[in-house]
Structure 1
């Protein structure tokens, strides 16, 4: 039962492995789960109706970043016919930005027909043709001193994967931006890059625990801001590790640190896990990020509609993927050493405070 109540909360990071401090934590604590289990074990008694709060209201139309300064929307609605094939659409919009600005916060949201949007990616197309990927889940609010450049003349590209519903549906999306004040240049520029995306993915029929590994070398000191795993219905788990270069008089080799694991991946919840400020991984140059993904292509997977089929890489839900989006910014060597020292000092203060309370 504890496993069930853990699964209904939209949070899939293993609390027993790696980092567990996040800005957007959405799970249930052990105490909260224990309270619910105790209530269920008692027969789920109804309390005093007079104490019942009003039903919660959820508004999908609000901007979680606050009122945006600039909004770019699709020029026209997309009509999705019932029971048709999956569709992919790249729609480019000119938001009319006439000067360079740095983004403080950004949010992408459907305005109509949310149910037919399987998922979407959003990119900024700079005037020179280069692209910058935006996170397309949740609101993305950069910390003070960090942000993302949006040059004058930049266009927005919505990359939509449409999955038809049982009735004709009209859909549309928009993106909203909040900027730093004009002329302000943040010290660090955030980057979102894809890790993995193995087109050779090979999931044999009726086979469990199929493993795929991906690697990414960090050539500069790096501060990781967010981790966003992406797989499909055969996926069961994913872990992110940092292989650290460790050199000393006693040792010249590597040290492996597990940053996070998702032991029960749920295709219905594509999450961006945003690390809390004091928990954001600080990784030296030469670190190798190691992404390990596992799959269950058997009948024991409740989302697997045909375990007798071989599955490979593809865009459709019935295909699969092995990747994650990483959001980070680079540091100078001096900044890296300074931030590591500050982190150690803060950690020691917390430990000392705890120890003093225990001995009192």
Structure 2
């Protein structure tokens, strides 16, 4: 299976550009170990390693010891990390085979896959269309059948949107469900770690492996989700159906809601009155955290100099630094954080 995937990557990825690094040698080594486990343990191997032999690709923000990690930026063009992200470790312990690192908008700054310093990722279905971003390569890799599973990050839609554009299953878990340890940060109070699969059942199986605390990411919460005692209710926010919404999108969303209704879920119209401020708040908080997080890339300890930053990264650094500056902190950042609390309260009080 590993050989088949690698051959497909070699044959077709020159046009799609979904991979930045292909880990061919290590993939074959791990495939051999998987074969040995099956021969030695038989069916018991699948109980010990629930994802034995499953190929996985990681967005190039996930640190992988001994394998280049670039964040899609020339700043880290030749960076090889000395340790591995928690999610990568958990999947490898479950039997997964790392097949490579996928392309993405540099530093996860983008929504189209066109903002990588190593060239844009194309949509496998129609190369003249974008695959979505910023987890562009991960979504495209699963859609093109280059890997059974791939991972991405989602700050403002970077898993959900490319999953939609590429026609695959994308899961953006609740913030604090999956460890971000060992993953290059974009905006720390917003980043979530999720994955792409071809089926919902596969997605659930993977989430069972990746979720829960690791004692390295302080935002994590343990425990199973709380199952409602009564009938499950699904909120339909009236503020989401306003002027400017594409009719085809509206029709599709309402059709999806009817699927849940047929399964016994109660549909309830709710109000989220501060919705109109959400984008404005996002574009203050996110650049502020970006500018803080990118400050460590000075070209002294590792990586190339700051002149290697692309135009989009520079824009976000400047905007973030501005809203955090002494004269404007209260007027912009502090006010945005207060409105963010109002938006959170809307959801808590929706029902």
The two structures have a TM-score, normalised by structure 2, of 0.22
Which structure: greater strand fraction?
A: 1
Question: Which structure's CA Rg is the greater one?
Answer: 1
User: Which structure's relative contact order is higher, taking Cα pairs within 8 Å and 6+ residues apart?
Assistant: 1
* TM-score, normalised relative to structure 1: 0.22
